Structure formats: C-alpha cells, structure tokens
Amino acid sequence: MSPQIEAKIRASFAKQSMMNTFGAKLAHVGAGSVAITAPILEGSKQQQGFAHAALTFAIGDSSAGYAALSVMPEDHEVLTTEMKINLLAPGTGDHLIARGRVIKPGRRLVIVQSDVFALSNGQEKQIAVLLGTMVPVPIAA
C-alpha cells in the first residue's frame, strides 16, 4: 500500500465526526485489512450497560470500508451499500476492536468482512461478524 493511500485513509477517518464521538482510533492500516478500536464510553451503551450495537456496527463497517479503500485506485472513495451484522455475544469490557478485510476486490463492488472483539482484562472475545458490500465512487475533482 502506497503512503498516499494510507494518508487518504487517515484523512478520511479524521473527517468522520462520529469516530471522534465514539473515541475510535485506527489501530492498523494495511493492504486489504484495517483495524479500528474504540473504548466503551459512558455514552455508547445500550439499556443493559453493554456496548451499543451501533458502536459495534460503526467500527465494524468502517474497518471493512477502509480495508476496501486500501485496495482501490487513489482517486476513488468508498461507500457502504449494504452490511449485515450477526451479534454473537454482549459487548462487555473496556474496549472493542474491529478487524476488517477484503474478501473480493472489484472495480464496481468490493465484498468485505469484519470481525469485532470485546477486550476485557487483556482477553479478546468475538462479539460480532459483519459481511457487506462497498461501492467505489470517483472523487469529484
């Protein structure tokens, strides 16, 4: 992956105000794989006090989207067109980490997956899997 593409991913991430609201950070940026971590903030919870599914979705979807962006031409960005999430366990602990990867690159559609884990006392437990489709769109000049 070129430094330009890594810089594009980092700049796009920084522009997502939602990521800032969630305290999320890019933990890894590689060719075809991107990881995002987020703390389970007081304001990111569901009714039982666990991580809200929207937080799990947010970092799962974004990690998968940036994994797709990492394998696209520089003059493109990427939009999610559909995403399915299966929730496996409650999001307990301190932090979540989402590891997104490209399953199938393509000029028109990129199929992606993300696995999301909860971290508690240094132990990882998988809490979700996401499978979806990203659409490359040319960046307006």
Nearest approach in angstroms of CB 109 to its own copies is 6
Nearest approach in angstroms of CB 36 to its own copies is 12
Tokens of 104: 């199938």
Nearest approach in angstroms of CB 95 to its own copies is 16
Exposure string (b/e) for 63-80, b if CB count within 10 Å is 16 or more?
bbbbbbbbbbeeeebbeb
DSSP for residue 93? S
Whichever of 15 and 122 has its CB closer to its own copies, that residue is 15
Whichever of 70 and 113 has its CB closer to its own copies, that residue is 113
Whichever of 58 and 67 has its CB closer to its own copies, that residue is 58
**Helix, strand, or coil here: 8?**
helix
Whichever of 12 and 120 has its CB closer to its own copies, that residue is 12
Contact between 102 and 82 (Cβ < 8 Å):
no
Nearest approach in angstroms of CB 79 to its own copies is 7
Residue 13, judged by CB atoms within 10 A of its CB (0-12, 13-18, 19+), counts as: buried
What residue has token string 């075809």?
A: 32
Whichever of 8 and 35 has its CB closer to its own copies, that residue is 8
Nearest approach in angstroms of CB 33 to its own copies is 16
- Contact positions vs its own copies (CB under 8 A): 12-13, 15-18, 20-21, 42-48, 52-55, 57-58, 61, 77, 79-89, 103-104, 108-109, 111, 113, 126, 129, 131-133, 135
What residue has token string 């990881």?
A: 35
